[in-house]
Amino acid sequence: MRLNGWQRIGMIASAVWIVGGFLWGNSWYLSAQNAPVVSAYHQCEDIAELRQSFSMRHAQDAQETKDARKADDVKCQNEMEYGLATARAQNGRWIAALLFAIIPPLLAWGLAWLAARLYRWVRAGFASPQL
């Protein structure tokens, strides 16, 4: 079977989409999984900052306040690293990336085939009947 120019362009576009779509789908899935973790990290930082500003007003020792802030920072960082590692360890991301990579080209090829068939059918309706 020989491919015409449009089919060759479609094959190249499909190959590019499959590679790029897989990477994009994987990145999108990880971002969606990481969003709650990053949000919790920022919330943890905000609470630590509030605690520091409160303790600065009431603390006798500035070193004690700095040590408490370092402990809060380490706690927030550990929570975020654990959450990100948990989110990245999810196996569903590969399935999501594969679906994102494969389904759009299949739909595009199906729509192109349907459009070509409809065009031929309409064109045949305008052709002069042969007797």
- pLDDT tens digits along 69-103: 666 666 777 776 766 666 666 667 788 888 889 99
Confidence band of 12 (pLDDT split at 50, 70, 90): very high
Task: Give the pLDDT of residue 43.
Answer: 74
Residue 131 DSSP one-character state:
-
The amino acid occupying position 95 is I
Quickly tell me which residue has 């709650």 as its tokens: 36
Quickly tell me which residue has 């409160």 as its tokens: 54
Is the Cβ–Cβ distance between 59 and 6 less than 8 Å?
A: no
Q: How many Cα atoms occupy the beta-carbon half-sphere of 104 within 13 Å?
A: 18
- Distance (Å, whole) CA 31 – CA 34: 5
Task: Give the pLDDT of residue 67.
Answer: 59
Task: Give the pLDDT of residue 89.
Answer: 62
Model confidence pLDDT, tens digit, residues 36-71: 767 776 777 677 666 666 655 555 565 555 656 666
Q: What's the average model confidence in pLDDT over 5-33? A: 87
- Distance (Å, whole) CA 115 – CA 109: 10
Is the Cβ–Cβ distance between 102 and 25 less than 8 Å?
A: no
Q: How many Cα atoms occupy the beta-carbon half-sphere of 41 within 13 Å?
A: 15
Confidence band of 19 (pLDDT split at 50, 70, 90): very high
